[in-house]
Chains A and B, each alone.
Chain A
């Protein structure tokens, strides 16, 4: 996917003034939050399960190469071919090699965020192979030629009118804004592709070391289609997605679906192991798994390691006030929201995504809802520290932090400065006590007024109170 994270501020301005997007975000954004809150009430020991889920993910990460080795042994024994991709680019190369070796003409895809990292569709289409997204949201976006804006609801930024227009234009059908009719239309358009494709590409929510299986979690049934109907199945997933056992998977699943869509379980959970053999009536003859590194192994060593626990539920973005206002596209890469603000700089380079860790009020909502207890605000703070210490922040920001640090380390000077600044701010506030414009900080006051302070600092007030008592 094309990277535009380095123009984050510009992206945000554009998105904030996009009336249609703002309207769509306001209308649909809250639904996941409500659904999640409701379904979590069924679980009387949520906290215990979260602690266990985080521990399961940590156990996988601490034994990552061993678990991958065990997974690989089991998978190979069942006839699956395991490939390793060091970079996103390698993913495209491997898929094309498999496709060309097998004379593949048509690929059906179910959702895979990892394949978005490498822009797989473009690469496949450029090689003359047809590639069709089959998740309804992804299908809509493929027609609209847009990237996803959410990891589980990729077309959350689109209204039914926009979908209706796209469908009528591409399917040459009369325009209808009836949502069930649009869903049926997509089913009818896509069914022949499922039946005629040579290759199905899916993501992999998890890999199971115990059995060498790939697990996928879906609602529409397209995931089952692409992994059952074509003669070749390719699953693409990150190396960090391995779990020890089927029981580990069962624990994690309880939180994944509830956190993601507010369902106690998704309609389909498929655990696939190996290829079709004599004991099967259907299924692919070839099974491939592509394990992608692309920056993940680098995270294991550092202070951002916990981000690798992520099970891609999307709850952090659903609950993020920043995401809810700017939408997913503003983040400029595959993963938006708080987890994107940590992963994007880690995978594409801090310099390329400098403003993402800043795109947070550190309100902590993401950490509260994260099913695997990733301390997202803390990780964003780590990246902020790094961008400062690497000298990547703009000079005026660095200068002001340096000045502030000096002042804060000299209490007398600090008292003197704050007393005068507060007076100045009070004067700026005028009779209404509201500041409309702050020199050098106009970003702050552009969309709102800042309440002016009372005119006295805490220290002055405290001192006055102490003097009063003494008397």
Chain B
């Protein structure tokens, strides 16, 4: 008997179930998985997900800026880099390679981040208003490292894609893509730690700064 067999046998004995699983056990489990029942959520006290998202960002030390449309993004990024005195080299998701970075004096590399990249620019599949969270799936065009390795993470977010709750984000993802990617990273603000004397310090292994530009 393998370790798996032994463990499963103990589980079934413990639960008082017959040794051989019954077909209806599986059906019952599958029906829950197919129904995907939603649990209770805190009441939606906000009317508009965009303003809720922006308001909650502040609590997470995430900074935000709203721009009129896509064409305003390079200038907004440039201003942000100036404001914090950040280098004008960035690693970016392929989706944004066509933007006019040169015009605002920024050099970009497209693809995955390396350990010494200082500024990373990503998009987001969608965002969650309840907790001011970005949903970042992994993929060829959405490398995970760009939101992880650099000290500064700039996210470009389509404000029409802010949903209310995490459950809505899953539903949207499954409706559009069908299956989960290798990793879905939910990002809510810059990395932090409170491991020394329970004192919250912003900036641990991930970014020190998260800035979201909503368009």
Do B138 and A281 have beta carbons less than 8 Å apart? yes
Please, how many angstroms separate the alpha-carbon atoms of A163 and B194 in the complex? 13
Contact between chains at A45 and B42 (CB < 8 Å): yes
Question: A209, A265, A276: which contacts B29 (Cβ < 8 A)?
Answer: A209
| Cβ-closest chain B residue relative to A210 | B33
Within the complex, the shortest CB–CB distance from A378 to chain B, in Å, comes to 19
Return the contact of B186 from the options A180, A244, A268 (Cβ within 8 A): A268
Decide if A109 is an interface residue (CB 8 Å cutoff). no
Is B111 part of the contact surface with A, judged by Cβ < 8 Å?
Answer: yes
Chain B residues within an 8 Å CB radius of A278:
140
Question: Is there contact, CB below 8 Å, between A183 and B148?
Answer: no
CB pair B191 A220 closer than 8 Å? yes
A69 to B145, CA, bound (A): 32
| CB-based nearest B residue for A227 | B183
Q: Which of B182, B201, B205 contacts A180 (CB 8 A)?
A: B201
B195 near A137 with CB under 8 A, answer yes
| Contact B196 A274, beta carbon cutoff 8 Å | no
A88: interface (CB < 8 Å): no
**Do B29 and A221 have beta carbons less than 8 Å apart?**
no
Would you call A277 and B11 a contact (CB within 8 A)?
no
Interface of chain A residues 263 through 305 with chain B (CB within 8 A): 264-283, 291, 293, 297-301
Is residue B152 within 8 Å, beta carbon to beta carbon, of the partner chain? Answer: no
Residues of B within 8 A of A69 (CB): 21, 26
Query: In the complex, which residues of chain A have a beta carbon less than 8 angstroms from the beta carbon of B111?
Result: 281
Interface residues of A in 83-118 (CB under 8 A from B): 84-86, 90
A-B contacts counted at CB < 8 A amount to 272
Q: Among the listed stretches A190-198, A321-329, A405-413, A433-441, which one makes contact with chain B, having 4 or more residues with CB under 8 Å of it?
A: A190-198
A165 within 8 A of B: no
B103 in the interface, Cβ–Cβ < 8 Å?
no
Residues in B neighbouring A283, C-beta threshold 8 A: 138, 144, 182-183
A134 to chain B, nearest CB (A): 7
Among B71-79, B82-90, B165-173, the one that faces the other chain is: B165-173
Q: Quick check: A84 and B3 within 8 Å, CB to CB? A: yes
A358 to B71, CA, bound (A): 67
Of the listed stretches A12-20, A52-60, A364-372, A459-467, name the one at the interface; the rest are far from the partner chain: A52-60
Q: Which residues 145-204 of A sit at the B interface, judged by CB distance below 8 A? A: 153-156, 158-160, 163, 179-180, 182-184, 186-187, 190-192, 194-195
A220/B185 in contact, CB under 8 A: no
On whether the beta carbons of B131 and A264 are closer than 8 Å, the reply is yes
**What residues on B are CB-neighbors of A221 within 8 Å?**
148, 191, 204-207
Q: Which residues of A have CB within 8 Å of B130?
A: 264
Q: Are A251 and B201 touching (Cβ within 8 A)?
A: no
Name which residue of chain B comes closest to A30, CB basis.
B198
Do residues B197 and A179 form an inter-chain contact, with CB atoms below 8 A? yes
B-contact bits for A220-262, CB 8 A (1 contact / 0 none): 1110110111000000000100001111101101100000010
Q: When the two chains form their complex, are residues A282 and B192 in contact, meaning their CB atoms are under 8 A apart?
A: no
- A32, CB-defined interface residue at 8 Å: yes
Closest 6 pairs between A and B when the two form their complex, measured CB to CB: A221-B206, A300-B14, A251-B39, A220-B204, A281-B143, A137-B195
What are 21 of the A-B contact pairs (CB < 8 Å)?
A44-B42, A45-B40, A66-B25, A85-B3, A153-B195, A183-B196, A183-B201, A187-B204, A191-B115, A191-B205, A219-B192, A219-B193, A224-B205, A250-B165, A250-B167, A250-B170, A267-B189, A267-B206, A268-B185, A270-B184, A281-B140
